[in-house]
Amino acid sequence: MIVSSNSTLSHRDSLSASAVPIRPLPAPLAVDLSPEDSRFVAAAKATFRTLEADEPLYHQGDSSRHVYVLTRGWAFRYQNLEDGRRQILDFALPGAVFNFPGNGVLTHGVEALTDCTFSVFTREGLQTLLLRVPSLSLRLAELMAMSEARAFEHLTTVGRRTARERTAYLLIELFLRARRAGLTTGDASMTAPLRLAHLADALGLATETVCRTLTAMRREGVVRLRGRKLEVLDAGRLADEAGIDLDEALPWESIEPDAFATAALPRPHPVRPSSAAC
Amino acid sequence: MIVSSNSTLSHRDSLSASAVPIRPLPAPLAVDLSPEDSRFVAAAKATFRTLEADEPLYHQGDSSRHVYVLTRGWAFRYQNLEDGRRQILDFALPGAVFNFPGNGVLTHGVEALTDCTFSVFTREGLQTLLLRVPSLSLRLAELMAMSEARAFEHLTTVGRRTARERTAYLLIELFLRARRAGLTTGDASMTAPLRLAHLADALGLATETVCRTLTAMRREGVVRLRGRKLEVLDAGRLADEAGIDLDEALPWESIEPDAFATAALPRPHPVRPSSAAC
DNA sequence: CGTTAGGTTGACGACGATCAATGACGGTGG
DNA sequence: CCACCGTCATTGATCGTCGTCAACCTAACG
């Protein structure tokens, strides 16, 4: 049931193992788990929660000891200032992890962009699972690193790019991520459930500014955003304006789990370090 | 040699175990390691690298398969656009991890702010260590989560706050983090090796704007930044202007390792899930 | 059809960038 | 000890990007 990547060290498929009715770990988090590991996953007793578009998963300021993993749909994280100013922190695709490690107060909120599903772990359940399955901890750390890299890139966009550059960057980023996740329709368009307010709040701009920018881009034949559909008519131009190289864009998105799996140990069983000098 | 936190489950001190000459893992990363775990740390064969103030650890665009852990001093991460615009992504204190997981091209650079020391792991060495010591993977994931939280907060600051608010936020953040790390002198001042350009590039502002803002704050008796020393004269006012509550500020900074240690399992040895229902 | 949320366009103003000149400081060498 | 230099901080004047306010338009929906 766990999606295993094309690892050269692939062992017997774990499909036959004790049945896990629905899988709480979507592809980006799923690693090359042994049948025993899969039982540990089941033992973590994740539940599921389904949200409709625009529903909140939780609010900023809530206190929660649960950790959520997005398994279906789009969502976004945001932060509000007291006077209502809002900053969208990131747009999340399946595999995104929310509120890890799950102690303390939530400093951000999460809202569904489309209908979506989350698996819900208690902090303790996840913690136990992670200590039992080291490769999963490692993969989680990698995912956090990817998320951090995206946040850093976003920070540069908001801090140092012009309105036009910001808009171009966000659109090409969303498009490339959606394409990688297989969520594009045709080759140059995707269903992006975004309002102008989402783009504006993600980019630190006013909706009017985003509107003007998009109108200009539409007139120039770069992109079209109508209804909830984003068409990228000239990806090269878009990447160019965003100041990125289309061929080597978003390198952190390609941190694959098998990068680690191929170098994996015979598993937790301690290897004698003895001779290992230094 | 490894700093163990005040866990209620503290086992025998590992000081007597096979000597680790210098410790590659500073306090924030060090968890409650067994003597065996400590041998694994030693087996990872970390080396050390010392930098003087303003020296680069690596440049944006470099390709490296090493992972660095800051063990002494201050450093910062930055990202440059082609035309020279620079965004400082974060300021790093001991415990910060750079270039994890260590594959692919570096999308940011790192530069020393003070003289500082890094421990250097090969990607493979660290990976092996992490798979052998699950609690360390977990702690790393936590640290990445803290870093992400800081990046998100930074993003909100740059995206949605005014120049004055941004400046106040950064100063109070640096001050509180330094105080937590025991790097403050007296009660309200710290040695902050920051130029105006650092603040400006972190905040997405021009140095002139930062200068004007700081001058105003100095006149109002809120802070003083002279030479390389930051004095916080009115922390309450500063926090107020930053729009945060001084008592519950930066909650993510207090994610302690023992939070997990207290709930730790008897260690990797798999616990039979059997009866665990659902 | 009427209502409403969201998109679009224009006019105007402000916050902060930019350009420019001067000042303060620290290091270096005479 | 002082003169020199380079780097960085400071201050002023001006400009431009983008925010704000306001009006109008469009589409979806009951």
Torsion of CA B157, B161, B166, B168, to 10 degrees: -110
What lies within 8 Å, CB to CB, of A17 at 6+ separation is: A35, A38, A39
Per-residue pLDDT, B149: 97
Residue A238 scores a pLDDT above 80:
yes
pLDDT tens per residue, range B58-82: 999 999 999 999 999 999 999 999 9
By C-alpha to C1' distance, C19 is nearest to B208
Q: Write out chain B's pLDDT in tens, 278 residues.
A: 444 443 333 444 444 444 445 688 998 888 788 999 999 999 998 999 999 999 999 999 999 999 999 999 999 999 999 999 999 999 999 999 999 999 889 999 999 999 999 999 999 999 999 999 999 999 999 999 999 999 999 999 999 999 999 999 999 999 999 999 988 887 788 888 899 999 999 999 999 999 999 999 999 999 999 878 899 999 999 999 999 999 888 888 888 765 544 444 444 433 333 333 33
Tell whether A22 lies on the interface with B, counting CB pairs under 8 A: no
Looking at strand D, which nucleotides approach a protein CB closer than 7 A? Answer: 8-13, 17-22, 28
Give dist(CA A153, CA B148) in Å, integer: 12
Give dist(CA A173, CA A166) in Å, integer: 10
| Range among A9-13, A212-216, A254-258 with highest mean pLDDT value | A212-216
Strands B97-98 and B75-80: unpaired
Test B148 with A148 for CB contact under 8 angstroms: yes
Between A28 and A74, residue with greater pLDDT: A74
CA atoms within 13 A on the CB side of A74: 18
Tokens of B20: 């680790």
pLDDT tens per residue, range A167-180: 999 999 999 999 99
Place of tokens 């529903």: A55
Q: Is the CB of A196 under 7 A from strand C?
A: yes
**Amino acid letter for position A151:** A
Q: Which residues in chain B are contacts of A131 at CB distance < 8 A?
A: 134-135, 138, 264-265, 267-268
By C-alpha to C1' distance, C18 is nearest to B206
Measured in angstroms, the CA of A138 and the nearest CA of chain B are apart by 6
Looking at strand C, which nucleotides approach a protein CB closer than 7 A? Answer: 6-11, 15-20, 25-26
Give dist(CA A217, CA A197) in Å, integer: 17
Whether the model clears a pTM of 0.85, i.e. scores above it, the answer is yes
**Phi, psi values for residue B179, rounded to 5°:** -65, -40
Per-residue pLDDT, B59: 97
Test A155 with B151 for CB contact under 8 angstroms: yes
Q: CA angle, corner B221, sides to B215 and B225, nearest 5?
A: 50
What lies within 8 Å, CB to CB, of B187 at 6+ separation is: none
What lies within 8 Å, CB to CB, of B239 at 6+ separation is: B168, B172, B245, B246, B249
pLDDT tens per residue, range B239-265: 999 999 998 888 888 887 655 444 444
Between B256 and A245, residue with greater pLDDT: A245
Measured in angstroms, the CA of B205 and the nearest CA of chain A are apart by 8
- Among A134, A243, A252, beta carbon nearest to B82: A243
